[in-house]
Structure 1
Amino acid sequence: MRLHRTRQSSSVPPPRSVRTPRRARRITLPRLLGSLLLVTAAGAAAGSGPAAAAPAPRPLGQVVPAPVEAKPGGSPYAITAGTRIRVESESREARRIADQLAGVLRPSTGYALPVTGRGSDGIRLRLDPHDDASGAEGYTLRSNPGSVTITAREPAGLFHGVQTLRQLFPARVERNSRQEGPWTVAGGTVRDAPRYAYRGAMLDVSRHFFSVAEVKRYIDQLALYKLNKLHLHLSDDQGWRIAIDSWPRLATYGGRTEVGGGPGGYYTKADYREIVRYAASRYLEVVPEIDLPGHTNAALASYAELNCDGVAPPLYTGTNVGFSSLCVPKAVTYDFVDDVIRELAALTPGTYLHIGGDEAHSTAHDDYVAFMNKAQAVVGRYGKTVIGWHQLTGATPVGGTVAQYWGYDRTGADERKQVADATARGTKLVLSPADRGYLDMKYDKDTELGLSWAGYVSVRRSYDWDPAAYLDGARPGSVLGVEAPLWSETLTNSAEIEQMAFPRLPGIAELGWSPASTHDWDAYKARLGAQGPRLSALGIDYYRAPEVPWAAE
């Protein structure tokens, strides 16, 4: 899942791309998405030129991810000083989405945009419980001169529809200060729903620790592109990042460092609950990961009794993998696993709990199988569905288990077959191929940040593959979706996260959301290039990939 044999040990000076933590550079949470919800649009601002000179509205289909269907028709809608945002139901969630939208649009348009009840004009958010075609996350957006109406069966669909609406306005709508209009939306209809139910991104907060504000900033960015899972890698050799009451030294001692020897950190239970709450308000589910039985040096250093010899190793600040393992035969190991999973499950309202399972090179195979089988049972006991890295298929996945595949195109046939065969027994798949979906891989040989053990991953390579056809022999329908992991060996702050995530993250999001029929690199790169000014308006200093025709700022 990450570095293999090329990793640097702590006794060797880090390569140029492995930076010392620079907390002074960390970006605090602006109103990034307003982050979020929003759509944006504002009527022609005072002082704008005559209507005839106004630029044409953005075509309805020119958004990321591509919608299922976009049919132009009729005259555009324009936000004006009299526009209202109307909530067509008594739903508190719909009202909250409307308030978020207003919070995004007001600064750039300069309009009051009051949130009110039913009406035939303005921006209308409408829940229709009988709209079965939309499913749990789909929506329909209709634009005409009198109104823009977003209709969905569920609040999540309204939220996703707002993200589409937001992209239909000029990029400057994302700015936090008054901008000139006009704020128009092309006439016509968008019908949309996701291809896959699981569309995720992973943030490694163990190699380097990221604050609650930095995680929230990333959540806002994920939500803009309709992702719905945030996988947090909460433990590894370099740091333990979540407070566990029954084993307090995991966080207070095991969380006190990171790669390069920085100060580290951890989330209190209140911090974690706030991340979960914030993600839910953007319709993302948090998937917590405790990596077991390897990648456990921080835990082993915190509690000597977890080691077979009863001796705690020192804390670790390097980047090697595969050297640590819980002591499988000891009964205390399973007390530890039970306590950690019990407390984490109680904090996590979502469906899934990730137990890692990769790169356990210091665990004998029979011990690995025995341990992972017991760990899966603990997860089930506390009401969660197991996710593990695809090496879990070498044990005995329980019914409904999800294997996260991180191999790559040149991964051996036997390993790929093992994963594919598991799908015949009911295992589901989330696809994160390292040489396509890992956002910490360098773009090319000149990329300053990131790693290259899986090869260079250009923007085109990260986009140009089909999840449904990726793993030969996998049972049809076994793919739940895709996830874009971002490992943090070389990343220390939000600016560096964004350099590596953008512009590749939107492509992974499109693979998860858009129908296969829309998949076309030439069309996609044009739509992606149009996102450049929007990313800049949001304060994201993205990588200007030369293969993408970036629009002028």
Structure 2
Amino acid sequence: MRATRRTLAALLVLAAAVSCTAAHGDDAEPPHASAVLTPYERLLPAPVSARASGGAGYAFGPGTVIRTGPGPGEEVRRVGELLAEQLRGPSGLPLPVVDGEEGSGDGDGIRLRLDARARELGAEGYRLRTTPSGVTLTAHAPAGLFRGGQTLRQLLPVRGAGEVPGGDVTDTPRFAYRGAMVDIARHHFPVDQVKRYVDQLAQYKINTLHVHLTDDQGWRIAVDSWPRLAAYGGASEVGGGPGGHWTKDEYRDLVAYAARRYVDVVPEIDMPGHVNAALASYAELNCDGKAPERYTGIKVGFSSLCVGEERTYEFIDDVLGELAALTPGRYLHIGGDEAHSTPAADYAAFMDRAQAVVAKHGKTVVAWHQLANARPAPGAVVQYWGTDKTAAAEKAAVATAARSGHPVILSPADRAYLDMKYDKATKPGLAWAGYVPVQRSYSWNPGTHLPDVPESAVLGVEAPLWTETIATRADWELMAFPRLLGIAELGWSPSASLAWPAYRLRLATQSPRLTAQGTAYYRAPEVPWE
């Protein structure tokens, strides 16, 4: 979206005010971003096209109805009901949802419409139009209506009734995969906390939740065929806490909850390294037949499955088979990073067999980028987590995989890892990839980030949150927000819209919304927060 003259003028006004305040040490507050940006200029992620009409808007109030007719089908009705639920809390309005003949789609209110001819909008795109008679959301598919509903939420007051400004938005995503990852293995978190994260992700058009379910410190998912994995291997965590695990019903509940918000869950069982919790649970998985003690530290690279034993592959088949049956999405993540205790030849042989098991159960492999140094299976997705300092040969291996047709997910640790400290004063988090302030986290282009990996090979972006030092919801949110919003924009918005001076202003306007939702966030000094 090209900046309008009004937007450029607003940027200059605010930048000058901030600069003046900094230069003179003046106590006066610079103008808030909301004072110089129109509601359509504040949207985050930035849409492909958004403009205020200059005319009257729609009065969102006690008489507002959400209309899902004509002939919407069950799924559109569900989108309408969820949108009503999301809007009722902040507004206090009743917002009844009507469909079929009762909600012909032509009355006043918020109208949800599917248009089979709007193929240019794809699976997630939408159009939003606001006039005095109401707000019309149009999409080719129900997911697009949901995404458009999240945009509408940003055009409404944070609290209470008010006016939706007159205007138009046309929007489609840049990348198909826009993800966030949470590690529940280092510290256990209950499903309800992860559901809260799903809502936070979906609000900013993130469509994938990657859950790191197993590691040296804990095994967090019940497996019927190997019950000690969760019962024993799950009863530990970093620092010696009680750990815990999810039942299959809890996992199913999360998957269904996320699906209603058009977020796919990608489960990860890390292998052949990061497996001490499994080795401690079953002696037969160890080459010497002896189970090690459970581990509560944070070192990596010391554990490995026994690559030469057939029982290892029976174990993998059982675990991945049960997990695949619980997961309707297309991907299973098999880790593959930091397998320092597995010789390279053994690693390649192991990953060959593990990938075949994933295919057997009807899923597509995702693995960390070390898979590129072995033999990625046809269609396997490579997830890159290197830094600017990663060896050229390692980056070249990812580029070779991309040229061979393997999609790449970008999660550069020195940009997208949400557990990296903002600065030296940040209490939780680590800094092995360096400090990652908000501006650095946002200021990179996924389409050009890796040498010789063209944008056409980039499936999308993902922001991982590792939890070696994170044990509370407050610390989780402090580290994720606001950097997660920048990653969401990098995944959704067109490259022409990605500019830090404009983004920092739009980010600043999200402050009242985050506060109203009770989300802890880091008030980065480089952002003129409201």
What TM-score, normalized by structure 2, do the two folds share? 0.91
Q: 2:79 & 2:405 partners in 1: Cα distance? A: 37
1:136 is matched with which residue: 95, 119, 123?
123
1:72 is matched with which residue: 45, 52, 63?
52
Matched, 1:102 2:84: yes
Q: What displacement does 1:81 show?
A: 1.9
Q: What displacement does 1:230 show?
A: 0.3
Are the equivalent residues in 2 in contact too, given 1:58–1:185 (CA < 8 A)?
no
Matched, 1:86 2:67: yes
Q: 1:313 & 1:383 partners in 2: Cα distance? A: 33
77 and 242 in structure 1: CA distance in 2 versus 1, 3 angstrom threshold: same
459 and 122 in structure 1: CA distance in 2 versus 1, 3 angstrom threshold: same
Letter in 2 for 1:253: Y
Describe the superposition over 1:387-442 as per-residue Cα deviations: whole angstroms up to 9, x where unpaired. Answer: 00000011100111100000011111111111111111111100000000000000
Which secondary structure state, in structure 1, belongs to the residue aligned with residue 345 of structure 2? helix
Match of 2:287 in 1: 308
> How many residue pairs get matched?
489
Describe the superposition over 1:45-89 as per-residue Cα deviations: whole angstroms up to 9, x where unpaired. Answer: xxxxxxxxxx99952231110000012212111112221111123
345 and 188 in structure 1: CA distance in 2 versus 1, 3 angstrom threshold: same
Q: 2:489 & 2:428 partners in 1: Cα distance? A: 24
Describe the superposition over 1:431-460 as per-residue Cα deviations: whole angstroms up to 9, x where unpaired. Answer: 000000000000000001100000000000
Match of 1:331 in 2: 310
Matched, 1:168 2:149: no
Q: 2:75 & 2:207 partners in 1: Cα distance? A: 16
Letter in 1 for 2:47: P
Matched, 1:511 2:490: yes
Matched, 1:114 2:101: no
Q: What displacement does 1:479 show?
A: 0.3
Are the equivalent residues in 2 in contact too, given 1:57–1:186 (CA < 8 A)?
no
Match of 2:172 in 1: 193
Which secondary structure state, in structure 2, belongs to the residue aligned with residue 289 of structure 1? strand
Q: 1:422 & 1:317 partners in 2: Cα distance? A: 35
Match of 1:436 in 2: 415
RMSD over aligned Cα atoms: 1.2
Are the equivalent residues in 1 in contact too, given 2:180–2:463 (CA < 8 A)?
yes
209 and 424 in structure 1: CA distance in 2 versus 1, 3 angstrom threshold: same
Q: 1:107 & 1:230 partners in 2: Cα distance? A: 25
Gaps in structure 1 of 5+ consecutive residues: 1-54, 173-178
Q: What displacement does 1:495 show?
A: 1.4
| % same residue | 62
Gaps in structure 2 of 5+ consecutive residues: 1-34
Matched, 1:281 2:260: yes
Are the equivalent residues in 1 in contact too, given 2:410–2:460 (CA < 8 A)?
yes
Describe the superposition over 1:454-479 as per-residue Cα deviations: whole angstroms up to 9, x where unpaired. Answer: 00000000000000100101245110
Match of 1:406 in 2: 385
Matched, 1:340 2:327: no
Describe the superposition over 1:331-366 as per-residue Cα deviations: whole angstroms up to 9, x where unpaired. Answer: 100000111111110100001000000000000110
Q: Which has the higher contact order (CA 8 A, sep 6+)?
A: 1
Are the equivalent residues in 2 in contact too, given 1:61–1:69 (CA < 8 A)?
no
Letter in 2 for 1:97: V
Are the equivalent residues in 1 in contact too, given 2:447–2:454 (CA < 8 A)?
no
Match of 2:344 in 1: 365
Match of 1:49 in 2: none
Higher helix fraction (1 or 2): 2
Are the equivalent residues in 2 in contact too, given 1:61–1:67 (CA < 8 A)?
no
Are the equivalent residues in 2 in contact too, given 1:200–1:229 (CA < 8 A)?
yes
Describe the superposition over 1:462-514 as per-residue Cα deviations: whole angstroms up to 9, x where unpaired. Answer: 00000010010124511000000000011112211100000000000000000
524 and 426 in structure 1: CA distance in 2 versus 1, 3 angstrom threshold: same
Match of 2:374 in 1: 395
Letter in 2 for 1:368: Y
Q: 1:109 & 1:532 partners in 2: Cα distance? A: 18
Q: 2:126 & 2:347 partners in 1: Cα distance? A: 45
Which secondary structure state, in structure 1, belongs to the residue aligned with residue 153 of structure 2? helix
What TM-score, normalized by structure 1, do the two folds share? 0.87
For 1:227-238, what aligned pairs fall within 5 Å after superposition? 227-238=206-217
